[in-house]
Structure 1
Amino acid sequence: MDDSFVVSPDWLAAHLEDAAVRVVDVRDAWEYDGIGHVPGAVNVPFDSYRDETDVDRGTLPGADAFADLLSDAGISPEDTVVAYDDTHGVFAARFVLTALEYGHDDVRLLDGDFSAWNRDHETTSDVPDVQSTGYEADPLERDDSPLVGLEAVENALERDAVFVDTREQDEFEEAHLPGAVRFDWREVVDDETRRLKPADELEALLAEHAITPDREIVLYCNTARRISHTYVVLRALGYETVAFYEGSLTEWLANDGEVVTGSSE
């Protein structure tokens, strides 16, 4: 597993004193304050970096708005950022994807979540003092971004791309893109440890669904939250040709895109 995308709790514990490593807790403020958090972590709640108005590239918050969040959190562009939540990493993965899209070079997902961290490492209720950094985002050029839109998805349907639907079975049966395979994002998580399954087990599991590194892969769900987790996992496993359909099924249906009902499994 590539630790430039995903880091273990032990890795984070060993780097907490490193001034260049900044930890971001994306849970709600009441959880961050009332339950406790990783020492030194700042709180950037999930709702604060998700735009529901569809003004700026789907549900992304916009480069300036995101830069303001990171600036207020005391984060600089050169920092190594590690994000976590308490929901197996799905909300934190959305933060990772957003930061990457807006040009932050080094942002990683904590393998597991707060509950996994809390099993072996200390927590605190102390809120760190931070100074605003004047962060400036540097969004990826369209050709460098994994995000794809409606036209690119339509074109990919004409090729041998693997469309991966990361939703639950009932959602998939109600409507999915033609030829899509269903791969519930939670399949990569070990329910007992709350961490990712071993890399070799993940690779075998993905291969069973024809999700292999040699294929062009297009991820979608409903509103691009769940695919964020799958995207980070695939990149950590070395997958390179992974497209991220930001509009997902919500945009597809709004534009009368063709869908299939029932199970293909």
Structure 2
Amino acid sequence: MDDAYVVSPEWTEAHLEDPSVRLVDVRDAWEFDAIGHVPGAVNVPFDSYRDEDSDEPGTLPGATAFADLLEAAGIEPDDTIVVYDDMHGVFAARFVLTARVYGHEDVRLLDGDFSAWNRERETTSDEREFEPSSYDPEPLSAEESPLIDLEGVEAALERDAIFVDTRERDEYEEARLPGAVRFDWREVVDDETRRLKPEAELEELLAEHGITPDREIILYCNTARRISHTYVVLRALGYENIGFYEGSLTEWIAADGALESGSE
């Protein structure tokens, strides 16, 4: 699995004293303070980088607003960012996607979440102070970005793309994009370890749903949170032709897009 997208707790623990490796905890501030956190982590709560009033697609906060968050956290453009939450990585993966769209090249998801880390490794309630940085974002171009808009989705429906719905069964059966296959984002997580399943098992699981590296893949859910996790996992497995539908089903329904319903 490509550690440019997902890194192990072992790797992270070995780099806790590396000043160029910055840990970002995206849980609520009270969790960060009261429950504890990974040593050296800085808190950037999930709500701070989700802006439903933004002019950006979906709920992306905008490049300048996101850069302000990184500046306040003392993160430099060349830093390696490792992100975690306590929800199997789904909120952390959203940070990874956002940072990459806005041009931060080295940002990775911690394999496992805070609870997985806390079982075997040191945590702290002490908060390290960081000097604010100067961060000039360089968002990816439309050609470089994985984001796909409404018109792009309409065009992909006419091609041999596979649409992947990462929501729960009842949501999928109520309404979905035409021809979409359901792949619950949590299927890639081992319930016992709270970490990702072994790579070979993940590849077999994805293949059973027709999600293979040779296909054009379009991911969607309701508001693009859950597909962030699936996107990061697919990239870590070497998948490249992935469209990330930021507007997801919320935008599609608002635009009166065609829908299917019923059982799988």
Which category of TM-score, normalised to the shorter sequence, fits these structures? over 0.9
The residue correspondences of 1:58-73 to structure 2 (distance < 5 A) are 58-73=58-73
Aligned-partner Cα distance in 1 for 2:105–2:20: 13
**Identity fraction in percent:** 75
SS of alignment partner, residue 136 of structure 1: coil
Aligned-partner Cα distance in 2 for 1:129–1:173: 48
Aligned letter for 1:52? E
In structure 1, stretches of 5+ residues that fail to align are none
Partner residue in 1 for 2:103: 103
SS of alignment partner, residue 224 of structure 1: coil
Aligned-partner Cα distance in 1 for 2:156–2:181: 15
SS of alignment partner, residue 143 of structure 2: helix
Aligned-partner Cα distance in 2 for 1:235–1:256: 31
Misfit runs of 4+, over 6 Å: none
Deviations 1:164-198 (A, max 9, x none): 00000000000000000000000000000000000
Partner residue in 1 for 2:175: 175
Q: Do structure 1's residue 166 and structure 2's residue 166 form an aligned pair?
A: yes
Aligned letter for 1:7? V
Partner residue in 1 for 2:119: 119
- TM-score, structure 2 as length reference: 0.99
The residue correspondences of 1:184-195 to structure 2 (distance < 5 A) are 184-195=184-195
SS of alignment partner, residue 40 of structure 2: coil
Aligned-partner Cα distance in 2 for 1:116–1:136: 34
Partner residue in 2 for 1:143: 143
Aligned letter for 2:35? I
In structure 2, stretches of 5+ residues that fail to align are none
Shift of 1:54: 4.4
Equivalent residues of 2:88, 2:195 under 8 A apart:
yes
Partner residue in 2 for 1:205: 205
Shift of 1:160: 0.5
Shift of 1:136: 1.2
Aligned-partner Cα distance in 2 for 1:52–1:62: 11
Partner residue in 2 for 1:260: 260
RMSD after superposition = 0.5
The residue correspondences of 1:75-114 to structure 2 (distance < 5 A) are 75-114=75-114
Equivalent residues of 2:54, 2:62 under 8 A apart:
no
Deviations 1:195-220 (A, max 9, x none): 00000000000000000000000000
Shift of 1:119: 1.1
In the alignment of these two chains, the number of paired residues is 264
SS of alignment partner, residue 200 of structure 1: helix
Shift of 1:56: 1.3
Aligned letter for 1:187? E
Aligned-partner Cα distance in 2 for 1:259–1:98: 28
